């Protein structure tokens, strides 16, 4: 440890936290693979949904406006900063970010611990939330990866109300379902965020099956995954 004068062994020590090293090319490739898989699984259609990942402590890349998640290339990602006055304007001749860039911007601002935001339109999760049915955690994977699920009222896409209401839920949850719209899932890596997105829709499917079988109350035991 160096002292403020730069010599070892001094009494006044200065601690510095180095910014994590992020490989932008690798992270973008991970998002490209997620986009292709998500479309293949029916979690999003056409140009719906958007994906982002941090490239520094104060900026992220997000899929560009109008892109289809199963057709992404490295050029289909726009840079957005986390500044208060960010406008979403294209940076240095790059593409225009998704109209939902605010959804990602607000999420990173309230959750400095996360590295990735995935916004998809999982049908069963959205339907259950929209009709006022709780998405129950029924399996060990649901409990482990999701832990809890936030829900927001409907707000139009691209609005401050949508972004701010989702961010408020993300303070307490890693998954939020926006009624009549989609979900946002966050994590400290692309792979973990996508695992959570997959488990969110699986939990919704399991809940729908339980309801069809007449069950309205079964949930994964609160303390079972701590055993």
* 107 close to 166: Cβ distance less than 8 angstroms: yes
* pLDDT at 4 > cutoff 60: no
CA-CA distance, 102 to 104, in Å (whole number)?
5
* pLDDT at 15 > cutoff 60: no
Pairing mode of beta strands 77-81, 59-63:
antiparallel
Give me the pLDDT at residue 8, please.
46
Pairing mode of beta strands 175-178, 150-152:
parallel
> What are the beta bridge partners of residue 33?
none
* 174 close to 113: Cβ distance less than 8 angstroms: no
* pLDDT at 9 > cutoff 70: no
Hey, what domains does the chain have and what are their CATH numbers?
A: 24-226 (3.40.225.10)
pTM to 2 decimal places: 0.90
Give me the pLDDT at residue 19, please.
82
- Please write the tens of the pLDDT for every residue from 72-114: 999 999 999 999 999 999 998 899 999 999 999 999 999 999 9
CA-CA distance, 131 to 179, in Å (whole number)?
8
Give me the pLDDT at residue 208, please.
98
> What are the beta bridge partners of residue 186?
117
- Residue 184 host element (H or E): strand 182-187
> What are the beta bridge partners of residue 120?
183
Burial of 170 by CB count in 10 Å (0-12 exposed, 13-18 middle, 19+ buried)?
buried
- Please write the tens of the pLDDT for every residue from 120-145: 999 999 999 999 999 999 999 999 99
Give me the pLDDT at residue 17, please.
66
Give me the pLDDT at residue 106, please.
98
Q: Which two tokens stand for residue 20?
A: 């994590």
* 77 close to 61: Cβ distance less than 8 angstroms: yes
Percent of the chain with pLDDT over 90: 87
Quickly state the pLDDT bin for 223 (edges 50, 70, 90): confident
């Amino acid at each position: 440890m160096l002292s403020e004068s730069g010599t070892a062994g001094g009494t006044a020590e200065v601690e510095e936290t180095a910014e994590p090293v992020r490989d932008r090319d690798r992270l973008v490739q991970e998002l490209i693979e997620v986009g292709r898989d998500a479309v293949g699984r029916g979690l999003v259609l056409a140009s719906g949904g958007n994906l982002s990942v941090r490239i520094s402590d104060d900026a992220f890349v997000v899929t560009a406006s109008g892109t289809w998640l199963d057709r992404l290339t490295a050029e289909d990602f726009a840079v957005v900063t986390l500044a208060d006055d960010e406008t979403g304007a294209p940076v240095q001749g790059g593409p225009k970010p998704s109209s939902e860039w605010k959804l990602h911007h607000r999420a990173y601002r309230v959750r400095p611990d996360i590295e990735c935001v995935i916004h998809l339109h999982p049908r069963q999760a959205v339907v259950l939330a929209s009709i006022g049915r709780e998405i129950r955690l029924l399996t060990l994977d649901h409990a482990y990866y999701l832990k809890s699920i936030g829900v927001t009222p409907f707000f139009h896409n691209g609005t401050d109300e949508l972004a701010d209401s989702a961010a408020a839920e993300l303070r307490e949850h890693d998954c939020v379902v926006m009624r009549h719209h989609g979900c946002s899932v966050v994590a400290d890596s692309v792979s973990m965020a996508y695992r959570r997105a997959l488990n969110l829709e699986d939990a919704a499917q399991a809940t729908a099956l339980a309801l069809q079988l007449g069950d309205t109350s079964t949930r994964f035991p609160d303390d079972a995954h701590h055993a």
